[in-house]
Amino acid sequence: MDIERALTRAVAKGVGIPLMRAGLYTMKPSIWGHHSLLEEIALRAVEANPSLTRRLIASYLKTLPSKMWNRIEFNSRNGFWPPNSLIVNPGDYCQLSCDGCVTDQIRVGEKKVMSYETMTRSAEQIMEIGGRMMIFMGGDPLHPKQEQNVMRVIDENPSMVFTLFTNGVNLQDHHIETFMKRANTIVMLSTDGLYEVNDAIRCGRPGGKGSFEYIEAAADRLHEHNLPFALSASVRQSNADNISSDEFMRFFADRGAIAAFFVGYIPTTGDYQTHMLRQNQLGEFSERLADAQLRTNIMLFNYANLTNMYGCRAGLKHLYVEADGAVSPCFALDVAFGNINKDSLDEILSVKFASFRKMRENLPYSACIATTAADAVEMLAQKEGLAISPNVRTLVQIQPGLVKGGFR
């Protein structure tokens, strides 16, 4: 057994860690340089499912040269590097109605579902410019109204990497079996704390009941199938202590989680004073998270504090595609600069996003533009004759308060 573990550790250290570094080269997480942590995460992934890890590595290496070549060609044509990923809304349907949900605020009128054709074109377009990842958000991607197209695209594109955010309500064995078969999907389980802390935020079920029982069941189901997964948590005043606690880390580490992403609350409802962390609170949260990293083998990414990263990635490292194909910089800034059904991503980025890139040159990259520069986005949209979503208008209205109040 010791020999087997030593061999597994050698594979994790020799193959898993370099691949993780390559995949994270655009980031600057707080764990950068923690080789022992990277080794442990790679080891856990290999031990949990050796075949899956081996196939994932093989697929990554097989497609890496062509993707890099496509990126180089894009850069030579346009003079800048293309985004690495697309964030996609496969549909508006979700059984929950979580407090302060950003994507829920841009759903106006009749609910939409992205067609299979639009979803496939999105996958093709990001690969053509050298992108490697497609991120399904929603709504919930596995909701019965939209999961068929999502699962079909995942099944038909084994060379891509997909990240799938889910609230856990709809996750079933047949979904996990497809993820295992294709070895191309990272399940991102959305949770905003343990038990009642989560349920006070992620709710909406009949009778006002929370959703943590589904999160726990989904984590257990993934663990039973030996499929490593990641977590996503929205950081706010009511849960910052809970989601940075040792109890939180142990609960999900015991169920097979290997990474956790902590994102700042974006006040698209206008309610920021009782939800967002002030600068001093954000600093305290970041310290607790860094301390927790010393005691957990879950890789922790502090997106709530963008000064720990290379900065806001909206419109630069990722784009957002709505269910109808509209392309925006970010899901929190729903201003469409084009439509993927009508234009290529190359054209959208090189021509229609030119004014956005110029605007970004005058903004600090370390700050989220949704909470610090919504007014600049609004002015640009008005100048370009683009429709402005309620999200942007709300963020513009409260922006003076965000700065004056010392919020992030």
Q: CA-CA distance, 408 to 405, in Å (whole number)?
A: 9
Q: Are 26 and 205 in contact (CB under 8 A)?
A: no
How many other C-beta atoms are found inside a 10 Å radius of the C-beta of residue 194? 19
Q: Are 50 and 100 in contact (CB under 8 A)?
A: no
Q: What is the model's pLDDT at position 97?
A: 80
Enclosing H/E stretch for 24? none
The angle subtended at Cα 178 by Cα 174 and Cα 179, nearest 5°, is 115
Q: Are 135 and 318 in contact (CB under 8 A)?
A: yes
Q: Are 256 and 219 in contact (CB under 8 A)?
A: yes
Residue partners of 111: CB distance under 8 A and separation at least 6: 91, 92, 93, 145
Q: Are 114 and 146 in contact (CB under 8 A)?
A: yes
Q: Are 71 and 130 in contact (CB under 8 A)?
A: yes
Q: Are 143 and 96 in contact (CB under 8 A)?
A: no
Q: CA-CA distance, 276 to 297, in Å (whole number)?
A: 28
- Reported as a single tens digit per residue, the pLDDT across 12-35 is 555 554 555 444 443 334 444 455
Q: What is the model's pLDDT at position 81?
A: 92
pLDDT per residue as tens, the chain (408 positions): 444 455 445 555 555 545 554 444 433 344 444 555 556 666 767 777 777 777 777 777 788 888 899 999 999 999 999 999 999 999 999 988 888 777 665 566 688 999 999 999 999 999 999 998 999 998 899 999 999 999 999 999 988 999 999 999 999 999 999 999 998 999 999 999 999 999 999 886 555 567 899 999 999 999 999 999 999 999 999 999 999 999 999 999 999 998 999 998 887 777 788 888 888 888 899 999 999 999 998 989 888 886 555 578 888 889 999 999 999 998 888 889 999 999 999 999 999 888 898 888 887 777 788 888 888 888 988 998 888 878 888 888 888 877 655 565
Residue 108 one-letter amino acid: V
Q: CA-CA distance, 210 to 29, in Å (whole number)?
A: 31
Continuous H helices in 274-373: 279-293, 345-347, 354-360, 369-372
Q: CA-CA distance, 324 to 387, in Å (whole number)?
A: 14
